[in-house]
Amino acid sequence: MGLMNKLRDKTHIILIILILAFLATIVFEWGMDYLGLRGGQVTELGSVNGQEIKYADFESQVNFAIDQQRQQTGEDPDESLIKMIRDQVWDQMVTQILAEQEIKRLGITVTNQEILNWVYNSPQTLPDVIKRNFIDSTGQFNMAVYQQALTTKTPEVTKFWSQVEEYLKQTLLSQKLQSVITGTVRVTEGEVMQRYRDENIKASFDFVFLDANSVMDAQIQVSDDDMKKYYEDHKNDFKREKSAKLRYVVFPDLATMDDTIATEKLIKAFTKDLKKLVAGDSTTYAVVNDNSTAKFSNNFVKPNEISPEVSAFLFSAGKDSVSDVIRASDGFHMVRLIDSKEGTETFSSAQHILVNFGTDTNAAKTKAEQIAQRLKGGEDFVKLAAENSDDPSNKFKGGDLGWFGKGAMVKEFEDAVNGAAVGSIVGPVKTQFGYHIIRVKGKQSKEFKFADIKKSVTASPKTKDVARKRAEDFSFVSKKGNLDEEAKKLGLQVVDIPSYVTKGAFVPGAGQNNSVIKFALDEEKGAVSDPIKIQTGYAVYVITDKFPEGFYSFDELKVQQLPLLVKTEKKLDALKQQAADLKSKIQGGDINTLKSVNPQIPIQRADTVTVSVPSPQIGADFDFASVVYKLQNGQISEPIRTARGYYIVQMRNITQFDQNAFQQQFETMRTAIITQKKQTIVQDWLTDMKEKAVIIDNRDKMFR
């Protein structure tokens, strides 16, 4: 029966097969007819080269992914995470269709005999999703059970093997497509040897660094002719993608006071049911588990794991007391204290006012002492914290740090609290962060078992609809008139996006929002968008400029980028002679003799570094590494020009190439390089396929 149950458990799985084990972006769905996910609603969500993506199929996969997320985290995903899931599912479905179309175009097929050979002759090489059904209690593949399953003809086992057949067919198709796409990948011995050297040749060296920034700006003059010459000489560095400039108005859909009141009423409605919860009787837990983001655990919880507002209630409450709605920093709570006990660990509660050192440590100490005196004189801690504290996380919460245990605070702070009586003012206490004035609020070892109905205040559908309707009305009038003028009439702020919007770009205020990018790149200059959902609400965009693929013009770069680049180039030129002069003063073949020439010159050391794991002072620098790792022990380099400045290096110790170790690691490294190359080729293939495909995406019209 164990095998039958395991097989039965698999019948509900939606199997998505990776085309490559190393690239989780090309997927195939299968079994959709059997699962009843095809057909039904025929609303066209979009299409790929004329092949429809149906709303029902898309929503089924989105809901499956949301359920998986919910099971993993125990919480419902928020709106931004749901949007990310929708984008991922869309990308997977588009990729799946493109892969299927390419398989059909190339005439790739899988015969029944290929599947039978795999099932009967090589069962131990089957994918894990199949093989795991036949793993015994010792973790081994049980061939006897597998052979028995092959000969079993019950309906559920027959259905399982039907699913396996389709799974293996799609797996073989994906492997064959992979072979076609990556069939030209080759790795030479030289490539493997370079990878070995980069990872295994270790060097220790002394060096002097002449920073380009050490040359004062006033010493450098940059003319238009200098910039024009640099622009022409480096024009390929100034390539631009197709891009656009945008301005926008946002209509927030954040929670309103009505939403806050509604959340409070909703939580209060569970008061009677919360009183009925019985610890130890899981049938009564639903009131919390079904209505709260904090699930009931029936365990005792330490006060440092509880929000300060909730712990304040628990310390003052009697057994079975139910709170009113508690407004805490992490949401709204209604709490019932079920039990409490004395624990083995003591926790402290404190407020603090932090005074940063700033540029004058003595002045900071004086200020902290004055604040401490005012508190000891009876002034309000909450008021003084808001006015003086440099801790932005709690200055407007009276400096409240909540409950904390041993090791939670830096030692000086912890020692001060432990040595003080409850209610006392301590300090100033000096730590690495500054001077603290501390009020010890309490010390307790209590732990609590409690039920907590916790909810965050979120915007209601009504609130979102109002924001969307305002954005729609604004978009309508802006399309007929002028977005800036309409915004001015309504007193709305128009935000200018300073960066260029390009394919795949991060759009300030919207993130990597495909809808914004699609509008920016597809529409003409002056176009006004329909409302587009972004993190903070609904935005209406206007395209203020458009740029075709090509090069940034000289005029676009001459104000900011070119002056800086030319100035850096001239600074490096100025350092060239200085570096040569410095090297000529090295005596006796020892770079450290430069100290006698100029005691201010810092001689730095890098110990046991490689090309792959460089010195943190230097970082990954090809110009530097291409010279240094060719030096012999004791050899001093010529001045090395890099983008940051000049280096002079003396090699102290460099390991020799180990032929035996290289041969031992050869196949592993070769496989890794092949995998990396294949990944790059497949990613480039995918990008090319998507750029050439006619993809229609109507999600914006269906999900608002």
Domain boundaries, the chain: 2-182, 202-238+560-654, 242-254+460-548, 258-455
pLDDT per position as a tens digit, 516-554: 998 999 999 999 999 998 888 999 999 999 999 999 999
DSSP 688: H
CB-based burial of residue 151 (10 Å sphere; 0-12 exposed, 13-18 middle, 19+ buried)?
Answer: exposed
pLDDT at 18 over 70: no
> Could you tell me if 460 and 258 are in contact, meaning their C-beta atoms sit under 8 angstroms apart?
yes
Query: Where is pLDDT greater, at 19 or 116?
Result: 116
Alpha-carbon gap, residue 328 to 63, rounded angstroms: 32
> Could you tell me if 649 and 206 are in contact, meaning their C-beta atoms sit under 8 angstroms apart?
yes
pLDDT per position as a tens digit, 271-286: 988 888 888 888 888 8
Lowest mean pLDDT among 43-57, 116-130, 214-228: 43-57
> Could you tell me if 188 and 669 are in contact, meaning their C-beta atoms sit under 8 angstroms apart?
no
pLDDT given at position 102: 94
Fold of 258-455: Chitinase A; domain 3 (3.10.50)
What is the CATH class of 242-254+460-548?
A: alpha beta
User: 397 φ, ψ to 5°?
Assistant: -120, 30
Record the tokens describing residue 423, joined without a space: 């209610």
Q: What is the mean pLDDT of residues 177-198?
A: 94
**Range picked from 72-86, 240-254, 316-330 for highest mean pLDDT:** 240-254
Within 8 A by CB and 6+ apart from 123, the residues are 131, 141, 143, 146
Residue 702 binned pLDDT confidence (cut-offs 50, 70, 90): low
Lowest mean pLDDT among 22-36, 74-88, 654-668: 22-36
Let me know if the fold of 242-254+460-548 is the same as that of 258-455. Answer: yes
Record the tokens describing residue 86, joined without a space: 């929708």
pLDDT per position as a tens digit, 428-473: 999 999 999 999 999 999 999 999 999 888 888 899 999 999 999 9
pLDDT per position as a tens digit, 72-117: 877 778 777 888 898 899 999 999 999 999 999 999 999 999 999 9
Residue in 30, 35, 3, 6 with CA at minimum distance from that of residue 16: 30
pLDDT at 484 over 50: yes
pLDDT at 562 over 50: yes
pLDDT at 370 over 60: yes
The secondary structure of 265-288 as a DSSP string is HHHHTTHHHHHH--TT-GGGTHHH
pLDDT given at position 79: 75
pLDDT given at position 286: 84
**Range picked from 127-141, 196-210, 295-309 for highest mean pLDDT:** 196-210
pLDDT given at position 704: 56
> Could you tell me if 376 and 438 are in contact, meaning their C-beta atoms sit under 8 angstroms apart?
no
Query: Where is pLDDT greater, at 358 or 679?
Result: 679
pLDDT given at position 511: 87
Alpha-carbon gap, residue 68 to 551, rounded angstroms: 45
In the chain, the percentage of residues whose pLDDT exceeds 70 is 93
Helix (H) or strand (E) holding 6: helix 2-10
Alpha-carbon gap, residue 540 to 472, rounded angstroms: 8
pLDDT per position as a tens digit, 136-165: 888 888 999 999 999 999 999 999 999 999
